[in-house]
Amino acid sequence: MTSTGRETQLRIPEGVLLGHALAARLADSLGLRVFFIKGPASVMQGLRQAKISADVDVFVDPFRLNELLAGLHERGWRDRPVDPDTKTFPKHSVTVHHPEWPCCIDVHFRFPGMEEPAGSCFEVLWVHTVHMELAGQGLRVPSKALGILFLALHALRSPELPACRQELEYLAGLIRLESRAVELLELATATGSLAAVRPFLKDLLPETIGPEWPQPSQEWVNRLAAREPGSARLIAIVQAPWRDKPRMVWRALFPRAEILLSGNIYADMSFSGRLNQHRARWARFFRAVPSLVRDLRHLQ
């Protein structure tokens, strides 16, 4: 089947296809190295079951992130509002949107679970990319083994969700079928993701291979523990030095406008609109209190 045939069969939204083409052409014009992760490419490679992509995920050389963002800004794309607290929520991507475009573009410069420095990690990733034809555009995408690593790390962030468990089971079956466990081990080691991928990979390796598993970073531990609304912020407050706690509590109680807009850029920011959003935040928080206590206990 041709690339166009696969795209038609997968029913990829036109906005997503055009988003890939736009990002690829812009990167080419600027001389930037980019490749595309997850999304339709992973379905076309047989790494996940068919699903409709809602946005475009592009991974750029971290040292040239600002150049790609500037090029997008010049074409009318704008950064989505995000929580300014980068300690509680370490950033790994920048999401941009366009008022006349039906999808967003997530520009990645690092990936959660990969603990190698962003620059050297990208060099490893780039070596393991391949060419693919999508939307009439030649794109770079991860090799099958690297694509599996990306999808596994993404699913391992929320292993309690049925969709993530199903994806991990699907990937495990593919690894066994294609004997890719050792290749995945080598990639995980080179990208510093061995600790994060351990729950998935350890039972897939041959018995004769017993790697020395490193301890996961605090960032990864916190990501796994923060499963409920407010978990990440509460964990950060508990772990913060005492001198920082009052400011963090204040920000949690009275969030900035960017936080309210981060979930919905079209949110009502009038006085009454903000009140309604605060009520909804507190309602979600109180419903999640039992789970929040459980999450904190898991960190002890």
Which CB contacts under 8 angstroms, 24+ apart, belong to 189-195? 190/116, 190/124, 191/114, 191/115, 191/116, 191/121, 191/124, 191/125, 191/149, 192/114, 192/115, 192/116, 192/121, 193/113, 193/114, 193/115, 193/149, 193/153, 195/115, 195/220
Q: What's residue 279's pLDDT?
A: 77
Which residues does residue 104 pair with via DSSP β-bridges, in sequence order? 55
Q: What's residue 272's pLDDT?
A: 79
Q: What's residue 25's pLDDT?
A: 93
Q: Is the pLDDT of residue 140 over 80?
A: yes
Q: Is the pLDDT of residue 292 over 70?
A: no
Q: Is the pLDDT of residue 189 over 50?
A: yes
The tens digit of pLDDT for each residue in 111-138 reads: 999 999 999 999 999 999 999 987 677 8
**pLDDT tier at 244 (50, 70, 90 boundaries)?**
confident
Q: What is the mean pLDDT of residues 253-271?
A: 68
The tens digit of pLDDT for each residue in 216-229 reads: 988 888 888 776 65
Q: What's residue 4's pLDDT?
A: 44
Average pLDDT, the chain: 84
The tens digit of pLDDT for each residue in 150-162 reads: 999 999 998 888 9
- Among 42-56, 87-101, 133-147, 246-260, the range scoring the smallest mean pLDDT is 246-260
93-97 vs 78-79, strand pairing mode: antiparallel
Q: What's residue 116's pLDDT?
A: 95
**pLDDT tier at 5 (50, 70, 90 boundaries)?**
very low
Overall pTM surpassing 0.75 (yes/no): yes
Q: What's residue 1's pLDDT?
A: 35
Q: What's residue 135's pLDDT?
A: 65
Q: What is the mean pLDDT of residues 37-51?
A: 86
Q: Is the pLDDT of residue 6 over 60?
A: no
Q: What's residue 14's pLDDT?
A: 78
Q: What are the φ/ψ torsions at residue 295 (nearest 5 degrees)?
A: -60, -40
For the chain, percent of residues with pLDDT exceeding 90: 47
**pLDDT tier at 9 (50, 70, 90 boundaries)?**
very low
Contacts of 265 (CB under 8 A, 6+ apart): 80, 81, 97
The tens digit of pLDDT for each residue in 88-118 reads: 668 899 999 998 888 899 999 999 999 999 9
CA distance 207 to 203: 9
